Structure 1
Amino acid sequence: ISGALAAQGASLEDVYKVAKLTADNIVSVGASLDHVHVPGRAPPDPNSDEILAKEEVEIGMGIHNEPGSGRAVVDLPELVKRMLQQMLDSKDEDRAFLNVNSNEIVLMVNNLGGVSVLELGGITAEVVTQLEKTYNIKPVRTLAGTYMTSLNGLGFSISILNVVNTNIGGPSMLQLLDAPSEAAGWAAPIRKETWEAKSSETRGGSSAGNEDVKPSGLKISPETTKTVLTAGLQRLIAAEPDVTKYDTVVGDGDCGIGLKRGAEAVLKLLSEAQLSGDAVVDLSKIVSVVETSMDGTSGALYAIYLNSLVHSLRQQDYYGEATPKVWGAALKQASEALSKYTPAQPGDRTLVDALHPFVETLSSTGDVKKAAEASRKGAEGTKGMKASLGRTVYIGGSGFEQVPDPGAWGLSEFFLGLAGIKTSEPGYEMV
């Protein structure tokens, strides 16, 4: 603010006045998972009080390792709640030195140096949400970025500016904040209108568009479908640690979390929504959830495949119960559609190594259990298989010899759960 004012040619007296006025109307608090390590200085004694316990966060820690007001093991929502209470609780005489009473509030969430862009985005969203819900505050500007660091500090700070009149007959605080700047590290403020804007192209998990899906005439039992899908999804969720372990060896470690997130979102849908009993209508609901809950390459592939499956089911020249044979034929058509978007084939060490045998076996036999067994065999076969596609190709190393493909393993776990095959049955121990 003062820099923008100085750049406009204001007097030193006015710059000082506005800078002090701004500082007097800011309240700020930080939090960190650890003290910053200063280069050239010996690391602290592991047994000293300076070391925070695992998952412990120090609230109020300063950028020079000044001690905070306390330590706790809390999740992000609780941490943000406590930080905002320290800043905005007018009943706390020790800390309520600023009465945030302006109709215009500016929020800054600052990265202390060691927080990723992704994490900082999540932190900022949580702060904005709690400000509105708990304090009825909607910031007119939101700044989130790496403004003032503490080297590699594993934390962040929250600052709130009470926008007031500068009384210099010139630009307002907001106008000065919005002034263009080429300073390194300065991220432009986000306007309230921009933050609150919702893209009309984005569909929520309970998309209203599903209401327009026309019934296909392919009937499924809502109760059986929910039971079978739940079994498959729960088994997939339980397999997350193994999938993550395998992906840590041959990938970037996010495959298990992505599959788990998608499975949990579909489970939530099944617990809250009532299935219609029409295969196309109900699968369309699931597709919408998958599209909005899964990310990465596998998320895109699942979305493409399931959308193709919806289309294939609708094209089936059949009305009545959706039998395994009907599903098999539709799955085969969906696989052919997927091949237009990925060159992956059996033997390339991808999820296709588990998908292809399931589809082929189901379409030829109509037996879900045999199809699931074929899928698991395909997934097991990826252990030691040299990858032709995917992240494993350029990660290199010999890890592929010790573990199966994570995506194929996760998908086979879902199919085994879908077929009702228990982990304790012979031949299905984790590799």
Structure 2
Amino acid sequence: MSSKHFIHDPTHLVTSALLSIPHTNPSVQCDIENKIIYRRTSSPQVSIVSGGGSGHEPSFASFVGAGLLSGAVAGTIFASPSAEQVRRCILHRVAKDKGVLVVVMNYTGDVLNFGMAVEKARAVGIEVDMVVVGDDAGVGRAKGGKVGRRGIAGTVLVHKIAGALAAKGANLQEVTRIAQLVADNTVSIGSSLAHVHVPGRREPGEDELKEGEVEIGMGIHNEAGSERRKTDLPGLVKTMLSHCLSTADRDRSFSKITENDEVVLLVNNLGGVSPIELGGITNEVVEQLANEFKIKPVRILTGTFMTSLNGLGFSVSLLRIANTGSVGATMLELLDAPAEASGWSAGISTSTWARQGQAKQHEELAVGEEVQPSNLRVDPSLAKSTLTTALNRLISVEPDVTRYDTIVGDGDCGIGLKRGAESILEMLETAKDADDLLILVNNIIQVVEVSMDGTSGAIYAIFLNALAHGLRQNSPASPQPVVPQIWAKALESSLQALGKYTPAQPGDRTLMDALFPFVQTLSKTGNIEDAAKAAQVGAKGTKGMKAILGRTVYVGGEGFQQVPDPGAHGLAELLLGLSDGLKKGTSQGIV
């Protein structure tokens, strides 16, 4: 885990982070001396107070807001706030008329300090209750002993449901009962690829995880989990879900969730996982729940709710929906209720969730559909074999294209070309043979538009669509084989069309340095071999050429002096492959 930080002083880090919260939510205030974020309500309601060590943001301070927490008390990083801080929050910062519910995670320091503050508040006549959340299945009963399970991300479900119920005007006894019911029906587990580095502390020691190793059941303060192992994501998720749901492991069988229950799934980012990767993780969890446990969650929340600084891991929480016994206040209704807190990112309404599963998959477009026939004829076998030779050549040079693009670009050009080539090859194997050239070209266009993205994908798609238009414009009155003159005219018109969307010209270090010479030579000679060689010469000429367009312009560095333009090189290899393919057959039907 990286030890680099923008703010190295942990005291300043916590203070400045707390001071930022009123900037993002004008309904809350900050008592920086006591590290309290709080909100005063306009109408009487039970106040929900929580908190703990800093480093778990957006928990807890960013959950203060209408429909969620009334106050949050922060300690230093990974350390409980003091009893005096909590006491001041209860007595002086939140409304007390209808009572106060304190929700705290099951860590010794938090339970003692928040508990002491609760007793002090009770001693002066304030009605206060406390719910301790221990949802972690990462540590079994034997290891947990008298301390019990740790509290982790499932706690935010308790916060949300209790906060929504309080906002509806329920009394303290009812809010406490429902909060405890949620806590009792929640089970969670986290895993991480690395321990985190706390600003201001020494570098991580020898206890760091090895490459490819994952800590299963890791706590949110760098605490050890139940085991370390090398595994892939599916294997990791399988283990995590088994710890949460399996009744065979009596040491860790905390949950009573079955396939007949309604379940809420929370996939929580521990801080260092990118949103795109968290999406992939969420999908894996959802699929395994359905396939292995026959559980289809009625609510799926995914995002950053309770972190461990920049922890490179995630946690999974499952809440079994239990009957609250309250009319108009089911767990799901309370979970879906709106909340005006900057840290609460689940904004899907009950009515939208009610339509879950109703959306139909888009029907696949039929290859070649709605294409008007033409009189341009090709030999299907020759066309297929020629294209196969060219596409396989392009695939074979992917490592070179990728290496070049890693030096002068962002490294995706080779993969994009390979993906497109492989997709076209798959289409050639499955599509019905046709001797109409425009049907073949349009089949290729549909594949390119779906399988190739980025700048090069757009250029190829525009060029091929323009080529189809040019071919149709030059189609003879009666069915005839395609001759070089028709190809040349169509390709020239394609270049003109492409010029409407990109200013790239030969000399700008782009794929145009290969495309222009190919089209111009083919127009002059009618010989594809000469044209392909001209494209190769043009691509090689980009070595040492300073880029005028494209991402290479701002990537910088001196690598362009050693390698050709990746796009030009890839296109030249494709065109050389077309030339080679034609040599193996006859020129009839193509050139």
Q: TM-score range by the shorter chain?
A: 0.7 to 0.9
Q: Is the 8 A contact 2:193 2:209 kept in 1?
A: no
Cα offset, 1:79, TM superposition: 4.1
2:502 to 342, 356, 380: 342
Q: Which residue of 1 aligns with 2:276?
A: 118
Asked which structure has the greater RCO (Cα within 8 Å, sep 6+), the reply is 1
Q: Which residue of 1 aligns with 2:220?
A: 63
Cα offset, 1:160, TM superposition: 2.7
Q: Is the 8 A contact 1:354 1:412 kept in 2?
A: yes
Matched, 1:277 2:435: yes
Q: After the TM superposition, which residues 18-97 of structure 1 pair with which residues of structure 2 at under 5 Å, given as runs?
A: 18-45=178-205, 48=206, 50-53=208-211, 55-65=212-222, 66-74=224-232, 76-97=233-254
1:278 corresponds to which letter in structure 2? Answer: D
Q: Which residue of 2 aligns with 1:309?
A: 467
Q: TM-score, normalised by structure 1?
A: 0.84
Cα offset, 1:407, TM superposition: 2.0
2:530 to 358, 366, 370: 370
Against the structure 1 CA distance between its residues 43 and 413, is the aligned structure 2 distance closer, same or farther, given a 3 Å change threshold?
farther
Cα offset, 1:194, TM superposition: 6.2
Cα offset, 1:95, TM superposition: 4.4
SS for the counterpart of 1:419 is helix
Against the structure 1 CA distance between its residues 13 and 210, is the aligned structure 2 distance closer, same or farther, given a 3 Å change threshold?
farther
Q: Is the 8 A contact 2:470 2:490 kept in 1?
A: yes
Against the structure 1 CA distance between its residues 268 and 152, is the aligned structure 2 distance closer, same or farther, given a 3 Å change threshold?
farther
SS for the counterpart of 1:212 is coil
Matched, 1:226 2:388: no
Q: After the TM superposition, which residues 373-392 of structure 1 pair with which residues of structure 2 at under 5 Å, given as runs?
A: 373-392=533-552
Instruction: Report the Cα distance in structure 1 between the residues aligned to 2:411 and 2:466, rounded to whole angstroms.
Output: 28
Matched, 1:197 2:362: no
1:346 corresponds to which letter in structure 2? Answer: P
Q: Which residue of 2 aligns with 1:176?
A: 334
Q: Is the 8 A contact 2:488 2:522 kept in 1?
A: yes
Q: Is the 8 A contact 2:367 2:443 kept in 1?
A: no
Instruction: Report the Cα distance in structure 2 between the residues aligned to 1:90 and 1:361, rounded to whole angstroms.
Output: 73
Against the structure 1 CA distance between its residues 59 and 293, is the aligned structure 2 distance closer, same or farther, given a 3 Å change threshold?
farther
Q: Which moved more, 1:264-273 or 1:303-312?
A: 264-273
For 1:276-303, what per-residue CA distance to the aligned partner results, in whole angstroms no more than 9, with x for missing partners?
3322222222222222222222222222
For 1:138-159, what per-residue CA distance to the aligned partner results, in whole angstroms no more than 9, with x for missing partners?
3332222122222222222233
Q: Is the 8 A contact 1:358 1:372 kept in 2?
A: yes
Cα offset, 1:389, TM superposition: 1.5
2:482 corresponds to which letter in structure 1? Answer: A
Against the structure 1 CA distance between its residues 18 and 395, is the aligned structure 2 distance closer, same or farther, given a 3 Å change threshold?
same
Matched, 1:416 2:576: yes
2:379 corresponds to which letter in structure 1? Answer: S
For 1:261-286, what per-residue CA distance to the aligned partner results, in whole angstroms no more than 9, with x for missing partners?
32232233233333333222222222
2:220 corresponds to which letter in structure 1? Answer: I
SS for the counterpart of 2:209 is coil
Which runs of 5 or more residues in structure 1 are unaligned? 422-431
Instruction: Report the Cα distance in structure 2 between the residues aligned to 1:369 and 1:196, rounded to whole angstroms.
Output: 55
Matched, 1:265 2:423: yes
Cα offset, 1:347, TM superposition: 1.4
Q: TM-score, normalised by structure 2?
A: 0.63
Instruction: Report the Cα distance in structure 2 between the residues aligned to 1:147 and 1:210, rounded to whole angstroms.
Output: 47
Q: Is the 8 A contact 1:325 1:365 kept in 2?
A: no
Instruction: Report the Cα distance in structure 2 between the residues aligned to 1:322 and 1:129, rounded to whole angstroms.
Output: 50
Q: Which residue of 1 aligns with 2:406?
A: 248
Q: Which residue of 2 aligns with 1:355?
A: 515
Q: Which residue of 1 aligns with 2:173?
A: 13
SS for the counterpart of 2:339 is coil
Cα offset, 1:238, TM superposition: 3.1
Cα offset, 1:81, TM superposition: 4.3
Instruction: Report the Cα distance in structure 2 between the residues aligned to 1:368 and 1:83, rounded to whole angstroms.
Output: 59
Q: Which residue of 2 aligns with 1:292?
A: 450
Against the structure 1 CA distance between its residues 31 and 375, is the aligned structure 2 distance closer, same or farther, given a 3 Å change threshold?
farther
Instruction: Report the Cα distance in structure 1 between the residues aligned to 2:576 and 2:531, rounded to whole angstroms.
Output: 9
Q: Is the 8 A contact 1:243 1:255 kept in 2?
A: yes
Q: Is the 8 A contact 2:213 2:228 kept in 1?
A: no
SS for the counterpart of 2:189 is strand
Instruction: Report the Cα distance in structure 1 between the residues aligned to 2:300 and 2:370, rounded to whole angstroms.
Output: 38
2:545 corresponds to which letter in structure 1? Answer: M
1:345 corresponds to which letter in structure 2? Answer: Q
2:275 corresponds to which letter in structure 1? Answer: V
Rg larger for: 2
Cα offset, 1:94, TM superposition: 4.7
Q: Which moved more, 1:64-73 or 1:302-311?
A: 64-73
Q: Is the 8 A contact 1:142 1:189 kept in 2?
A: no
SS for the counterpart of 2:460 is helix
Q: Which residue of 1 aligns with 2:373?
A: 215
Instruction: Report the Cα distance in structure 1 between the residues aligned to 2:395 and 2:330, rounded to whole angstroms.
Output: 53
SS for the counterpart of 1:309 is helix
Against the structure 1 CA distance between its residues 101 and 372, is the aligned structure 2 distance closer, same or farther, given a 3 Å change threshold?
same
1:297 corresponds to which letter in structure 2? Answer: T
For 1:66-110, what per-residue CA distance to the aligned partner results, in whole angstroms no more than 9, with x for missing partners?
234342242x44544444444444555454432233453322222
2:279 corresponds to which letter in structure 1? Answer: G
